């Protein structure tokens, strides 16, 4: 298995995200966010079998999701300064839909009943590695497209 070191689990913000870019097999670039996932939190915490870092008697780990809302694929969750993560959910800055950090599932708002698109990562001894066979690591940070994204229509403020 090929793996590329991304960062340490400790470097992934507890209420934010770590942004990086991958190259798809067809050569296009795609942004990905790493977020912390606490299987013991209120979220459904499915699929905790991937690696993680010990957190007391619970295992805390990270998940990698493609950086877009399922309601509008041009709406980035992390616009270059970290995704908003509140109580185990990634919040879409435009519509306020909330996605579970562990499962990627959204049960509210315009993206209700959808899942974020995952990218495979593994945690080994506190280090996060990209292990998805469908993509290659390109660089830390996002794609420099010069676009700040659409304005927010959400009633939420951060």
Is 13 part of a structural domain of the chain? Answer: yes
pLDDT tens digits for range 7-43: 999 999 999 999 999 999 999 999 999 999 977 665 4
C-alpha pair distances (Å), 113 with each of 26, 86, 97, 124, 130:
29, 19, 10, 32, 27
Report the CATH number that the domain containing residue 82 is assigned in CATH.
2.102.10.10
Is 150 part of a structural domain of the chain? Answer: no
Is 87 part of a structural domain of the chain? Answer: yes
Q: How many domains does the chain have?
A: 1
Q: Can you give the residue range of the structural domain that contains 19? A: 4-140
What sign does the CA torsion over 27, 123, 18, 63 have?
positive
pTM > 0.85? no
CB-based contacts of 44: which residues, under 8 Å, 6+ apart?
100, 102, 103, 105
Is 151 part of a structural domain of the chain? Answer: no
pLDDT tens digits for range 41-93: 654 444 433 433 333 434 569 999 999 988 877 789 999 999 999 999 999 99
Is 149 part of a structural domain of the chain? Answer: no
Is 100 part of a structural domain of the chain? Answer: yes
Is 146 part of a structural domain of the chain? Answer: no
Is 62 part of a structural domain of the chain? Answer: yes
């Amino acid at each position: 298995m090929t793996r590329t070191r991304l960062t340490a689990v400790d470097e992934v913000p507890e209420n934010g995200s770590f942004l990086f870019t991958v190259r798809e097999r067809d050569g296009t670039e795609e942004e990905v966010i790493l977020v912390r996932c606490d299987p013991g939190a209120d979220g459904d915490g499915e699929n905790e079998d991937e690696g993680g870092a010990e957190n007391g008697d619970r295992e805390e780990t990270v998940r990698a999701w493609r950086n877009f809302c399922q309601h509008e694929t041009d709406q980035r969750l992390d616009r270059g300064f970290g995704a908003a993560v509140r109580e185990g959910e990634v919040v879409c800055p435009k519509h306020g839909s909330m996605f579970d950090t562990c499962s990627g599932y959204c049960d509210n708002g315009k993206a209700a009943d959808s899942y974020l698109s995952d990218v495979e990562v593994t945690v080994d001894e506190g280090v996060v590695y990209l292990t998805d066979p469908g993509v290659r690591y390109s660089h830390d940070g996002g794609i420099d497209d010069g676009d700040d994204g659409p304005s927010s229509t959400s009633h939420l403020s951060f």
